[in-house]
Amino acid sequence: RAFKDAGYGVTIYNFSLQYPSFFFPGKTQYSTDSPPEGLDILSKVNSINPFNWLKIGREIRNRRPRLLVLRYWMPFMAPCMGTIARIVKKNHFTKIVAITDNIIPHEARFYDSCLSKYFLKSCHGFIAMSKTVLDDIGHFNKTKPRKFYPHPLYDNYGEPISRKEACHRLNLDPSFKYMLFFGFIRQYKGLDILLQAFADQRFEKLPLKLLIAGEFYIDPRPYYRMIDELKLSQRIVMHDSFISNSEIPAWFCAADLIVQPYKSATQSGVTQIAYYFEKPMIVTNVGGLPEMVPDGKAGYIVEPEPKSLAEAILRFFSQNNPKNFVRFIKEEKQKFTWEGLVKTFEEFL
Q: In the prediction, which pLDDT does 211 show?
A: 99
15: phi then psi, degrees, rounded to nearest 5: -90, 135
Q: What is the pLDDT along the chain (349 residues), one digit of tens a residue?
A: 999 999 999 999 999 999 876 565 555 555 666 778 889 999 999 999 999 999 999 999 999 999 999 999 989 999 999 999 999 999 999 999 999 988 877 666 778 899 999 999 999 999 999 888 999 999 898 899 999 999 999 888 889 999 999 999 999 999 999 999 999 999 999 999 999 999 999 999 899 999 999 999 999 999 999 999 999 999 999 999 989 899 999 999 999 999 999 998 777 889 999 999 999 999 999 988 999 999 999 999 999 999 999 999 999 998 767 888 999 999 999 999 999 999 999 999 9
Q: Which stretches of 13-129 are DSSP H helices?
A: 50-63, 78-89, 112-120
Q: Kindly report the average pLDDT of the chain as a whole number.
A: 93
Strands 208-213 and 236-239: parallel
Q: In the prediction, which pLDDT does 132 show?
A: 87
111 vs 277: CA distance, rounded Å? 39
239 beta partners? 213
What b/e sequence results for 232-249 when a residue is b if at least 16 CB atoms lie within 10 Å of its CB, and e otherwise?
Answer: beebebbeeebbeeebbb
290 vs 150: CA distance, rounded Å? 12
In this prediction the pTM is: 0.86
Q: In the prediction, which pLDDT does 144 show?
A: 96
- DSSP E strands in 164-221: the ranges are 177-182, 208-213
221 beta partners? none
Q: What is the dihedral of CA 13, 16, 18, 19, to 10 degrees?
A: -170
Q: In the prediction, which pLDDT does 321 show?
A: 76
Cβ atoms < 10 Å from Cβ of 321: 8
141 vs 126: CA distance, rounded Å? 10
196 beta partners? none
Domains (range + CATH), the chain: 2-148 (3.40.50.11930), 163-334 (3.40.50.2000)
Q: Tens digit of pLDDT for each residue in 178-226?
A: 999 999 999 999 999 999 999 999 999 899 999 999 999 999 999 999 9
